[in-house]
Amino acid sequence: MADLPVRALTRSARMAALPLGHASRAAIGVGKRIGGAPAEAVAAELQARTAEQVFRVLGELKGGAMKVGQAMSIFEAALPEDVAAPYRATLTRLQDAAPALPAEQVHAVLKENFGPQWRRKFASFDDEPAAAASIGQVHRAVWRDGRPVAVKVQYPGADKALMADLRNAARLAKVMTSWVPGVDVKPILDELTDRVTEELDYEREAASQRAFARAYRDDPEVAIPDVLAAGHTVIVSEWLDGVPLSRIIAEGSREERDAAGQHYQRFLLSGPARAGLLHADPHPGNFRITPDGRFGVLDFGAVAHLPDGLPPMIGHLLRIALTGDADAVLAGLREEGFVKTTSRIDAQGLLDFLDPFVDPARVEVFHYSRDWLRAQFARLNDPRNPDFAVGLRLNLPPSYLLIHRVWLGGIGVLCQLDAHVAMRTELEAWVPGFAVDPDLT
């Protein structure tokens, strides 16, 4: 089993090698084209080799490097099919797995959190990890009262590794932007850095999980495991069986995709209203469908506190956008800080730019598809399209940063699911300020 690389110099060197490797392969590709190889074949080879190197290193480094990959993976559905193919398998692996931490190091973490008699808390403990993720791994165990539990253990040195990775991740921005059209990577990296200390504090995460569990207790559609014990780098919670959302994306039936998509969208929107919290890490590895058909949620490291629910302006402006009142939408976005007072922008162009957020509310049931998302990203990323200039003039207020991340990330996952979702119903139920106008049905 691989040890977690934590030496800053080693990690920095491996991160730095990624863009250098990309540049080297690009130069080789130019040489091949000069030598007569078809441009399409050279481009495909370059994309495949870059994907393999990027995601292999991200997965092995874990920490911030892997978190960057997870954050980007939710946009895989936006890639053109000929580009997406080399990435899809590695993206899925990145969402669900990583090299394991040796048992002796796991035991040391448990001793540090629960004392030298930590084993007395468990009837049994499995040293083989059941799952591994960006900054921790999960072990199966049986609690002293007989309940099956999941023991989430943070990798030793993850704090130093995480900060080192995120400081160096900017080196990847150019490479990653080249295969995720229309996405500015830098704000994503900045936001991940800002949230790092929160995600490293498992006691804080346990408090968030307990709050979600209280809000959804006995819910027939949502399953949130109860937390039984927690330390600064360990969380013990009830075990939750189920089919990972990533597997449904890969091989689910039409019925399973649609049901999962509806559950997924409902949970993301209902959290602020029911728990005063927004689950802010929407990648598929955090969710599963339980054997009794409920939507299970496993990770609460990234959470936004919204005690008053989602800002009412979101629903209000969505409702106005459905009526086509471009001037009112522009005025509302100026008021919220999305459009600076000094910025000149065409109101109708702005409304057209917002289509990815408004389209799902135009019909009773919306089909989230890869083709739809690719068309949207291509439109927004084309300098010849007026929408491109509109995007350059918009501003993202700090208070909306996580909301925007969840909304956009959720769209990416729903398109991976190829799901049909009754979006209007969810907006009406959970988003303050939104009301379905009968004239729009």
Three-class secondary structure of residue 339 per DSSP:
strand
DSSP state of 349: H
Mean pLDDT for the chain overall = 79
Do the beta carbons of residue 136 and residue 152 sit within 8 Å?
yes
Q: What is the pLDDT of residue 275?
A: 97
**Which residue did the predictor score with more confidence, 398 or 154?**
154
Q: What is the percent of the chain where pLDDT is above 90?
A: 48
Q: Can you give the C-alpha Rg of the chain in angstroms?
A: 22
Helix axes 158-168, 8-34, angle to 10 degrees: 30
Q: For 281-308, what is the mean pLDDT?
A: 93
Three-class secondary structure of residue 153 per DSSP:
strand
Name residues whose C-beta falls within 8 Å of residue 125's C-beta, 6 or more positions apart in sequence. Answer: 119, 139, 141, 142, 151
Q: Is 162 left (phi over 0), alpha (psi -120 to 50) or beta?
A: alpha
**231-242 pLDDT, tens per residue?**
999 999 999 999
> Beta-carbon neighbour count of residue 339 at 10 Å?
22
Lowest mean pLDDT among 36-45, 130-139, 142-151: 36-45
**17-76 pLDDT, tens per residue?**
444 444 343 333 334 334 444 444 444 455 555 555 555 555 444 455 555 555 555 555
Name residues whose C-beta falls within 8 Å of residue 65's C-beta, 6 or more positions apart in sequence. Answer: 11, 15, 57, 58, 165, 169
Q: What is the pLDDT of residue 95?
A: 46
Give 324-327 contacts, CB < 8 A, sequence gap 24+: 324/351, 326/350, 326/351
Do the beta carbons of residue 369 and residue 353 sit within 8 Å?
no
Band (pLDDT 50/70/90 cuts) for residue 315 is very high
pTM value is 0.77
What domains sit in the chain, N to C, each tagged with a CATH number? 8-97+172-196 (no CATH), 103-158+201-238 (3.30.200.20), 312-440 (no CATH)
Name residues whose C-beta falls within 8 Å of residue 118's C-beta, 6 or more positions apart in sequence. Answer: 107, 110, 111
CA distance 263 to 345: 37
Q: For 340-368, what is the mean pLDDT?
A: 90
Q: What is the pLDDT of residue 362?
A: 93
Q: In what order do the strands lie in the sheet with 222-223?
A: 222-223, 295-297, 287-289, 243-244
